[in-house]
Structure 1
């Protein structure tokens, strides 16, 4: 999995929460620089923090489904919104690069 933009938005949470709690083999974490610095300074990393929680995660998801909340629908909505945000950020980057190059343009655009 790719854990994307794992900076904590709520100041009530530990600033390394989404790094400390998402350590697992074969994962990538694209944390913001402030989170990287916080993790280097005071992160609490103790190896795989995910694999041992599979049984509880399955039970939690079953409880959510029992409340009438569709996991598949939630995942689809989050994926659609995430892709849309990444597309918008990519377009902004292209426009910024194009503007900085002036009349030269960007190859492959």
Structure 2
């Protein structure tokens, strides 16, 4: 017998994420710190959302990926506003593969903040 799972599908299960699973809601991943009132990244069970895998074989680069993501986002958002560069009425097309991606990439525009 072979058992497998599909991380892409698990990230879209209504049973796990609710009826609004398809909506982009970054607050799903944030929680308010009671002492400082600041927002921080919420700890999600790695078996529930296994983008970096889970257990003893967790991705070795997970912590580095989060660190790099935070530094890049902080640097870019300080100077620019990032907006999707899609034509009116069109939507990007998701390509299901071992690593998730968008067909033709996900094009964006950078608008300088004033």
TM-score normalised by L of structure 2: 0.29
The structure with the greater share of residues assigned to strand is 2
TM-score normalised by L of structure 1: 0.30
The structure with the greater share of residues assigned to helix is 1
